[in-house]
C-alpha cells in the first residue's frame, strides 16, 4: 500500500511538472535512467531539478541553473537545501578551466574556543546543536550571488524567480518528506516563538501543499538587492533580532563582513582520468585523492566488484586516510594544511607500505588522530551540465536535518548548526560521535571543517563525470566508490550510484556496510582477516551526471532518496 501511494504521488508530481512547464517549447525528460543531449540537472528533489532544467531551456548556462537549483532547494528541500547554511562548488567552464568556490559558514566574531564547555571544561548539553549559538554565519547567498555575477548568463531576477514562485504557490509534499516534517514537528514548535510554515494544525500527509510566504518575501529582497538583500537591510535585522531572542551571537558586522572564497581546485590523476575537487577547509577532497592514489597500483577491476581482496584494500586505504585527516585538517586561513605532501604519490605509496594483504591492520596501530567532524545525512548535492561543456558540482548543507530547527522569525528560513563541526573540545565527540583536534578548534572568523566532496572528472581533457553526495564522514568514501564503479568496474552511472556501499573511517575500528551489499561468503572471509562489520540502512545519496562517448548526458540520481534527473 505504501509503495502504491508513493507511485501515486510521483504521478501527481510529474503531472504538475508538465503543467508548470507547459509554456516551454522544448520538452524535457525526467526520471532515474534518462539520457539527453543538451543539458542535465540531478538534485535531491524533483521540483528543484525541474526548475534547473527550465533555466537551461531559457538559454541559461550551468551556473544559472545551479544558482536556480540552490534557491529552489531552500524552498522544496528544507532538510538540507538552504539560504541559511553553506557549502562548496566546483565549476568547470567550457574552455576546461576549473574553479572552486568555498561558501562554508564562519564562526561569529564573538565566538570563543570554550564557548560550549561548562565550568568543569566539559561539553555543555546541546548548545552547539539545538540553540541559536549553534549557527555559523551563513555563506550560501554570498556564494551563489557571487558566482552568478561572474559566470551567469541570464539576468539574476530570472534565475531566482522560480524559487519565489515555488515558495508562494507551494508544492505537493512527497509522502516521505511529509513524514520528515512530522518527525521534526516538536523541534519546530519548541525552538521557535512563532509557528513556522513547517508546522500546521494537523500532521502533514503526502500531497499536502507546503507554502512559505515569509521565505518568498526574503527571496524577493535578494531578487531586488542581490547579496545585500540578505546580509544587510531588513533580512539582516531579522537575523540579528532572532539571535537576540535566543542569546545567539551573530551580529550585523558578522553578516556584512562575510565573504565566500575562491580556492585553487585540488587536482589529481587516476588511471587515464583527471579529477578536480575541493581543498580544505573541506577534508573530503584530500581523502578522495588519497584513496584513489593508494589503490591505483592494484587491479581492483580484475579482482571483481566487492570481492574480498578489493573490499579489504579499500577499507585499509580508508582507515589510513581518515587517520591522516584528523591530524592535519583545518581552515587553511588559520592553520597550514600540507595538501601537496599528503597527496603526493610517494607519500601515498609509503602510507600503504605496512598493508597486509591477508590481515586487517588494527586502527590502534595506525598513527593517532581524530576523524573529521561530519555533516548529517541531510547534506545535499546537485550536479548540472549544459551543452556548452560547462559543469557545476555543488554540495551544500545546514548540518543536521533542518539545521538547528530554528527559523528566523519574519524571514522564513532555517538557521544552520554548523558550529558543532568545530572541535568543541579536543577528543570530545560531536553530535555524530566523531572527535576532532586543535587544528579545528573554535576561533572567531574561522571556517569549520567539512567532509563535502563535490567532484568533476575529465577523460582526455573532456568532461566525463559530475558527482557528489551527502553523508557526513561517508561523503568522500561514497564519491570514491562511485568513481571506481564507473572506471574500474565499467558500470553505467545509474548502476554505479545504486550499488551497495561500505565505509571505514579509522575510528571506530569497524566497517559500516549497507544491508545485502556483500555476500555472506565474502563477509566471512573478511571477518577471518580481522575486519568487524556494522550494518546500517544507507550510505550517501549521490547525484551524478556521466558524459557518454557520443557526447550525450546520462543522469545518475541515487535510489536512496527522492533524487531526480531532468534533461533535454
- Per DSSP, the residues of 510-521 read SEEEETTSS-HH
Contacts of 182 (CB under 8 A, 6+ apart): 203, 204
Whether the CB-CB separation of 562 and 44 falls below 8 Å is answered with yes
Q: How far apart are CA 266 and CA 275, in angstroms?
A: 8
Contacts of 291 (CB under 8 A, 6+ apart): 314, 317, 318, 321, 476, 477, 480
Cβ neighbours around 388 below 10 Å, total: 14
Q: How far apart are CA 339 and CA 337, in angstroms?
A: 6
Q: Kindly give the pairing relationship between strand 455-459 and strand 533-536.
A: unpaired
Q: How far apart are CA 45 and CA 533, in angstroms?
A: 32
Cα-to-chain-centroid distance, residue 425 = 25
How many helical (H) and strand (E) elements, i.e. helices and strands, does the chain have?
Answer: 20, 20
* Cα within 13 Å of Cα(458), Cβ side: 22
| Strand partners for 535 | 513
> Which residue is catalytic, options 343, 379, 453, 522?
379
Quote the longest CA-to-CA distance of the chain.
Answer: 66
Cβ neighbours around 37 below 10 Å, total: 12
What interhelical angle do 213-225 and 233-245 show, nearest 10? 130
**Phi-psi category of residue 490: left, alpha or beta, with phi > 0 → left and psi -120 to 50 → alpha:** left
- Note if 564 is an active site residue: no
- Per DSSP, the residues of 151-220 read H--S-HHHHHHHHHHHHHH-EEPPHHHHHHHHHTHHHHHHT-SSPPTT--SS---TT-EE--HHHHHHHH
Whether the CB-CB separation of 333 and 446 falls below 8 Å is answered with yes
Using DSSP's 3-state secondary structure scheme, residue 413 falls into coil
Q: Which residues are catalytic?
A: 379
Amino acid at each position: 500500500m505504501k509503495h502504491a501511494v508513493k507511485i501515486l504521488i510521483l504521478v501527481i508530481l510529474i503531472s504538475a511538472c508538465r503543467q508548470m512547464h507547459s509554456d516551454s517549447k522544448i520538452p524535457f525528460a525526467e526520471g532515474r535512467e534518462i539520457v539527453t543531449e543538451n543539458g542535465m540537472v540531478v538534485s535531491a528533489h524533483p521540483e528543484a531539478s525541474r526548475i534547473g532544467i527550465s533555466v537551461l531551456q531559457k538559454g541559461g548556462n550551468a551556473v544559472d541553473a545551479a544558482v536556480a537549483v540552490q534557491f529552489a532547494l531552500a524552498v522544496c528541500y528544507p532538510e538540507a537545501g538552504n539560504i541559511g547554511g553553506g557549502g562548496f562548488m566546483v565549476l568547470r567552464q567550457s574552455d576546461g578551466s576549473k574553479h572552486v568556490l568555498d561558501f562554508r559558514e564562519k564562526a561569529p566574531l564573538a565566538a570563543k574556543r570554550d564557548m560550549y564547555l561548562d565550568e568543569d571544561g566539559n561539553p555543555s548539553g546541546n548548545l552547539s546543536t539545538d540553540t541559536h549559538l549553534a549557527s555559523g554565519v551563513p555563506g550560501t547567498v554570498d556564494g551563489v550571488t557571487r558566482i552568478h555575477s561572474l559566470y551567469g548568463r541570464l539576468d539574476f531576477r530570472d534565475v531566482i524567480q522560480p524559487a519565489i514562485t515555488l515558495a508562494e504557490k507551494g508544492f505537493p509534499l512527497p509522502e516521505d518528506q511529509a513524514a520528515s516534517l512530522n518527525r521534526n514537528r516538536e523541534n519546530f514548535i519548541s525552538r521557535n516563538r512563532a509557528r513556522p510554515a513547517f508546522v500546521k494544525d494537523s500532521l502533514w500527509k503526502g500531497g499536502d501543499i507546503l507554502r512559505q510566504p515569509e521565505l518568498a518575501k526574503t527571496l524577493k529582497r535578494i531578487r531586488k538587492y542581490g547579496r545585500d538583500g540578505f546580509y544587510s537591510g531588513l533580512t539582516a535585522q531579522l537575523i540579528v533580532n532572532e539571535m537576540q531572542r535566543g542569546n545567539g551571537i551573530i551580529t550585523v558586522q558578522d553578516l556584512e563582513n562575510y565573504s565566500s572564497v575562491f580556492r585553487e581546485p585540488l587536482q589529481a590523476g587516476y588511471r587515464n582520468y583527471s579529477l578536480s575537487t575541493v581543498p580544505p577547509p573541506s577534508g573530503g577532497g584530500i581523502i578522495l585523492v588519497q584513496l584513489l592514489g593508494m589503490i591505483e597500483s592494484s587491479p581492483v577491476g580484475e579482482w571483481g566488484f566487492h570481492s574480498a581482496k578489493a573490499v579489504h584494500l579499500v577499507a585499509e586505504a580508508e582507515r589510513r586516510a581518515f587517520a591522516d585527516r584528523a591530524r592535519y585538517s583545518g581552515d587553511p586561513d588559520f592553520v597550514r594544511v600540507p595538501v601537496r605532501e599528503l597527496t603526493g604519490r610517494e607519500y601515498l605509496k609509503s602510507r600503504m607500505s605496512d598493508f597486509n594483504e591477508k590481515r586487517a591492520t588494527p586502527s590502534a596501530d595506525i598513527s593517532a588522530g581524530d576523524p573529521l567532524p561530519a555533516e548529517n545525512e541531510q547534506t545535499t548535492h546537485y550536479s548540472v551540465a549544459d551543452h556548452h561543456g560547462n559543469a557545476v558540482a555543488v554540495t551544500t548543507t545546514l548540518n543536521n536535518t533542518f539545521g538547528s530547527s530554528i527559523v528566523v522569525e519574519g524571514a522564513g528560513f532555517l538557521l544552520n548548526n554548523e558550529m558543532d563541526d568545530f572541535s568543541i573540545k579536543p577528543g570530545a565527540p560531536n553530535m555524530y560521535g566523531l572527535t576532532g583536534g586543535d587544528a579545528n578548534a573554535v576561533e572567531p572568523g574561522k571556517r569549520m571543517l567539512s567532509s563535502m566532496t563535490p567532484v568533476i572528472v575529465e577523460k582526455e581533457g573532456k568532461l566525463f563525470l559530475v558527482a557528489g553526495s551527502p553523508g557526513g564522514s561517508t561523503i568522500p568514501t561514497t564519491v570514491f566508490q562511485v568513481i571506481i564503479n564507473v572506471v574500474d568496474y565499467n558500470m553505467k552511472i545509474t548502476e554505479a550510484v545504486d550499488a551497495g556501499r561500505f565505509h571505514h573511517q579509522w575510528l571506530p575500528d569497524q566497517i559500516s556496510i549497507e544491508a545485502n551489499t556483500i555476500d555472506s561468503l565474502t563477509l566471512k572471509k573478511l571477518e577471518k582477516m580481522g575486519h568487524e562489520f556494522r550494518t546500517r540502512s544507507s550510505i550517501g545519496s549521490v547525484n551524478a551526471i556521466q558524459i557518454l562517448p557520443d557526447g550525450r548526458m546520462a543522469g545518475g540520481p541515487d535510489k536512496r532518496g527522492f533524487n531526480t534527473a531532468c534533461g533535454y
